[in-house]
Amino acid sequence: MKLAIDTNRYRDFCEGREDVLTRFQIATRLYMPFPVLAELRAGFACGTVARRNERVLNLFLNRPRVVVLYADEQTTFHYARLFTQLRSQGTPIPTNDLWIAALVQQHNLLLYTRDRHFDALPQLARVD
């Protein structure tokens, strides 16, 4: 199972939630979309334990099964299709979530999230 992890699930992992630890352990590969990485680092910058959080994140990112996903030209086509769908549905979602959805769709991944914004995109394969 190849999982794309959302910000909330990374935080759950750091908090030691058993269900998340188990899901991470059984995944063959964990993908962190670049907006998730940016959201985490923005949160660290606003917090009081930024250095500690950054160290933990770097340890996580250096695991052999963890890959950071960046956008490329193909991602922009997925983004545009999803944007158009959401607009026609009247269900916009935050821009970072739209990038995450585009990357998940492009790479045919399973999105691991608690975020209900993604309910507007039923074509995304997800686990909660």
Tell me the residue range of the domain where 69 lies. Answer: 2-119
Overall pTM > 0.85: yes
CATH assignment of the domain containing 95: 3.40.50.1010
Q: Which pLDDT does position 105 carry in this prediction?
A: 97
**Domain assignment of residue 70, yes or no:** yes
Determine the 3-state secondary structure of 108 from DSSP.
Answer: coil
**Domain assignment of residue 125, yes or no:** no
Distance CA 39, CA 8 (A): 10
- CB of 30 closer than 8 Å to CB of 65: yes
**Domain assignment of residue 113, yes or no:** yes
Mean pLDDT over the full length of the chain: 96
Structurally, how many domains does the chain consist of? Answer: 1
Q: Which pLDDT does position 13 carry in this prediction?
A: 97
